[in-house]
Amino acid sequence: MAYLQTDVTKVTTRVLQNMKLHGEKIAMLTAYDYSMAKLLDSTKIDVVLVGDSAANVMEGHKTTLPITLDEMIVYATSVVRAIDRALVVVDMPFGTYQGNSKQALASAIRIMKETGADAVKLEGGEEVLESICRILTAGIPVMGHLGLTPQSINKFGTYAVRATEEDEAERLIHDAHVLEQAGCFAMVLEKIPAKLAERVTREVKIPTIGIGAGAAVDGQVLVLQDMLGITQQFKPRYLRTYGTFGDDIANAVRQYISDVKQRNFPNEKEQY
């Protein structure tokens, strides 16, 4: 199938806006290292997110809170080196933008200068508006993130679906308009009822990218290790896996161990 935007040599925020206008869905995945990012870019994925989910899948933390700006910059630099086409968005980690817009701008500038990424993403609505506005004044594109915002896990106390009650849903709709009016180029909607995500998508002109937010959004995002079946303990309802790479890797390693132990590797052709 031919897609409207397949021929672009570089995905920009304007390309994403056009995709929303023309009804072409946006495909986004996470990456944290050069090799995976290179593979992703060869598939013509639209957006690569260097997510702070690196705290979980790369570093083994229980939450995304511990990851630092320095660590995110290392992951993002490796990803940017691999990418020619996709738009690269980097998550601003917990504690680098909340409550202090000058610090937010300094953090965003470090990400853009040191990694060469195209945009930053941060979690929250009106409560982080000042930070968003200040970052935007430096010409740095900002992607918002509403619904389940994992950096606030200690406030929520659970990773359950958000905004199922009317007052939280109304607040989310308000925040979506705040992000749009502030000048965000897109927003992630995480783990909210599909009907609510549909309403937000209808009401705002910027693209919405869902994760656990149903089909009536402008695009989808998943964590790469989750969709490849590498993170085997994490199976939320919204997750579709496109492979059993966790099992495949373990089987390959078992075969290698067996070959080494049984003196099957290397053979005569595999030596000098």
Q: Can 190 be counted among the known catalytic residues?
A: yes
Rounded to a whole number of angstroms, the minimum distance from the CB of residue 29 to ligand KIV is 9
Rounded to a whole number of angstroms, the minimum distance from the CB of residue 51 to ligand KIV is 2
In whole angstroms, give the CA distance from residue 37 to residue 258: 31
Question: In sequence order, what E strands does 12-84 have?
Answer: 26-30, 47-50
188 binds ligand KIV (CB under 6 A): yes
Q: Which stretch binds ligand KIV (CB under 6 A): 12-20, 49-57, 168-176, 199-207?
A: 49-57
Q: How many residues bind ligand KIV (CB under 6 A)?
A: 11
Name which position in 135, 182, 211, 230 contacts ligand KIV (CB under 6 A).
211
Name which position in 92, 120, 142, 221 contacts ligand KIV (CB under 6 A).
221
Cβ atoms of 142 and 120 closer than 8 Å: yes
Q: Which of 166, 190, 203, 268 is catalytic?
A: 190
96 binds ligand KIV (CB under 6 A): no
46 binds ligand KIV (CB under 6 A): no
175: phi then psi, degrees, rounded to nearest 5: -65, -35
State which residue, 158 or 267, has the beta carbon closest to ligand KIV. Answer: 158
Name which position in 51, 93, 212, 229 contacts ligand KIV (CB under 6 A).
51
The separation between CA 182 and the C-alpha centre of its own chain, rounded to angstroms, equals 21
Structure tokens at 217: 């959004």
Name which position in 52, 118, 180, 198 contacts ligand KIV (CB under 6 A).
52
Question: In sequence order, what E strands does 111-263 have?
Answer: 119-121, 142-147, 186-190, 208-211, 219-222
Cβ atoms of 188 and 197 closer than 8 Å: no
Structure tokens at 4: 């409207």
223 binds ligand KIV (CB under 6 A): yes
Q: Are strands 219-222 and 208-211 parallel, antiparallel or unpaired?
A: parallel
Q: Which stretch binds ligand KIV (CB under 6 A): 48-56, 132-140, 176-184, 256-264?
A: 48-56
Q: Which stretch binds ligand KIV (CB under 6 A): 13-21, 44-52, 107-115, 169-177?
A: 44-52
Nearest to residue 98, comparing CAs of 48, 70, 71, 134?
134
36 binds ligand KIV (CB under 6 A): no
Report in angstroms the alpha-carbon separations of 17 from 23, 116, 121. Answer: 10, 22, 16
Nearest to residue 145, comparing CAs of 198, 97, 184, 202?
184
Q: Which residues bind ligand KIV (CB under 6 A)?
A: 30, 49, 51-53, 91, 188, 190, 211, 221, 223
Query: Would you name the residues annotated as active-site residues?
Result: 190
